Structure 1
C-alpha cells in the first residue's frame, strides 16, 4: 500500500491543478480583492474567535491524550506542544510525521518515552478521524437535497451513503464498548478507549470541526445559498481531500474541491473567502507556533549551557 501512496498524492494534486487552471481562467481577481475588503470587522473577529476555539480544544484534548498514553498530568506542556505541532505540521505536510517529530522533541524533554509519544500521536488524531465521518454522514442525511446538488448525485444515493457511513460510525462505538484489550499495530499496543474516552474524543472532534467549518462559512459570500449544517458535509469532503493529498495545508486541493462542489459561488469570491480562512486558521496560528517553538528551543539551549557550566564549575 505504501508504494502506491505517492501515486495517490500526485494524482490528487494533478487533478487539483487541472481544476484550478480551468477555473482561474474565469476568475476576475478584482472579485477576490473585493471579497476580502468587503468582510465586516465583526465577521473577521468571529472567524478569529472560531479559530481560537479550535486551538483551545486541540490543546485541552492533547492533555487528555497525554494522560491516556502515559498516566501523567501535564496540561500546560501538552497545550503548548499541541499549538506548536499542529499548525507547523499542517504547513509542512505529512502532518502525522512532521507534527509527530515536533511532539517527540518536546515531550522527550518532559520525560515521555518514545512509545508514550507514539501513543499520544495516535490518540491525538482520533477526534479528527472519527468526527469527520459523523459530521459528513449526519449532514448528508439531514441535508440530502442540498448535498445531492453539490455532489451531483441523486438524493437517494446521498441518503444511502449517509446511512452506510452512520452504520460505520455506530459500529466503532459498539467495538469500543465490547473490546477491552489493546490493539496491536506493528508490535505497538494501542489502548482502545473506554466509552467515556471515546465520547470525549467524539465530542471534542465534533466541536473542533464544526468551528473549523464555521471559520470558512462566515467568510463565504451570500451566493453560497446554504445553511451552516448543510455546508459542513461540503467542507469536510474538501478538507479530507486536502489531508489525503499530503500537500502542505491541502493547498490547492481544498480550493479545487470547493470550486467543483460549489459552482453557484463566483470563483473569485470563493477564493477570497478561502484566503481569509487560511489567514485566520493557518497563517496566524503558524506565526504564533513558530514564535513559541523558537522560545522553547531558546530556553532548552540556555538550560543545556547552564548545566554544562555547572558541571565544569
Structure 2
C-alpha cells in the first residue's frame, strides 16, 4: 500500500509538472514570433503616420536656419533625450533591481523616442515592457519603473509650468474659456502638488501599501527631489531648443510656457507625435508675436530635430538591445 500511495503521489506530481510545462512551452513558442510581430506593428505605425508629416515644409524650414543653430538645437535635443534616460535610473535605485545601468538607461531612451513619435502605448508601455521582460525583470518591478518615470516627468512639469502659469508668463487661450485668475490658481495648485509629493515621500518613508495585490512604496524624499530636478531640467532643455528656433524673438519664459501648454494638450489628444497639436497651440498663443511662416518653420524644425532624428537613434538602440538580449541570458544579468 505505501508503495502504491507513493506511486500515486509521483503520478500526480508528474501530471502537475506536465500541466505547468504546457503554458511555458507555449510562451517559448510565442516569444519566437514576438519580435517580428512587434517590428511589423511599429513599421506599420510609422508608415501610417508618415504621410501626415509635412516633410517638404520641415526640410525648407531647416534650410533657412544656419548650421550652427541647428547643431545647437540638436545638441539640446540629444541632451534632453539622454536626461530622460536617467528617469529609469531613478527607478533602478528605488526598486534595487540588478539590471546594468547602461541597459536601463538605453531602454528608457529607446522607449522615449518611440513614445514621442508613436504614442505612449507603443513607446512608454509596450516597448518598455518588452525590453525589460527580455532583460529578466518581473511585471511588478517593470510597473514600478514605468510608474516612477511617469511621475518624474510630470513632477518637473508641474513645478515649472505651475510657476510660469502662476507668474502670468502666458494668458490662457480664448478657446479654454478660463479666466486669468483661475489660470494662475491652477499654476499654484500644480506647485502645491509637486511640493506635497516630496513631503509625502518624507513622511511615508519605508511604508508599504497594497494596490491591486501589489506592494507599493513611495521613494525617499531625496529621490523625490532628484525626480523634480531631473524633470525640470529636461523640460527646460526642450524650451531652450524652441527658444533658439524662434530666433529668440519670444521671451524664454513665454516660449517654455507655450511648449508646456502644447504638451498637456497633446496628452489629451490621442494623436501619435501630437501631429497638428503643436502647430495649433503655437498659432493660438503666439500668432500675434511672430509671423506665421517663422512660427511654423520653428515648429517643423523642432519636430524634425526633437522627434524624428532621435527616432532613428531609438531604432538603432532597440536593435542593439534585442541583439544583446539574445546573446545574454536574462537571469544572469537581472538576477
Alignment TM class, shorter chain as reference = 0.7 to 0.9
Instruction: Name the SS of the counterpart of 2:215 in structure 1.
Output: strand
1:227 aligns with 2:251: yes
The CA distance in 2 between the partners of 1:83 and 1:32, in whole Å, is 24
Instruction: Name the SS of the counterpart of 1:55 in structure 2.
Output: helix
CA RMSD of aligned residues (A): 2.6
Contact 2:113–2:123, Cα closer than 8 Å, also in 1: no
Contact 1:63–1:74, Cα closer than 8 Å, also in 2: no
**Which of 222, 238, 242 is the aligned partner of 2:266?**
242
- Aligned in 2, Cα 1:103/1:270: closer, same or farther, shift over 3 Å? same
**Which of 290, 307, 310 is the aligned partner of 2:315?**
290
1:174 aligns with 2:196: no
Could you tell me which residue of structure 2 aligns to residue 17 of structure 1?
none
The CA distance in 1 between the partners of 2:103 and 2:74, in whole Å, is 24
- The TM-score normalised by the length of structure 2 is 0.72
Contact 2:99–2:135, Cα closer than 8 Å, also in 1: no
Unmatched 5+ stretches in structure 2: 1-54, 330-335
* Bigger radius of gyration among the two: 2
- Aligned in 2, Cα 1:182/1:255: closer, same or farther, shift over 3 Å? farther
1:87 aligns with 2:110: no
1:147 aligns with 2:147: no
Contact 1:33–1:272, Cα closer than 8 Å, also in 2: no
**Which of 209, 223, 226 is the aligned partner of 1:197?**
223
Aligned residues: 270
Following superposition of structure 1 onto structure 2, how do residues 57-206 of structure 1 map, counting pairs within 5 Å? 57-72=83-98, 74-93=100-119, 95-96=120-121, 98-142=123-167, 144=168, 146-148=169-171, 151=173, 156-180=181-205, 181-206=207-232
Q: 1:122 offset after TM fit, Å?
A: 0.7
Deviations 1:224-266 (CA, angstroms, capped at 9, x unpaired): x432123222111111111221311111112211111112222
- Aligned in 2, Cα 1:110/1:298: closer, same or farther, shift over 3 Å? closer
**Farther-moved stretch of structure 1 (172-181 vs 76-85):** 172-181
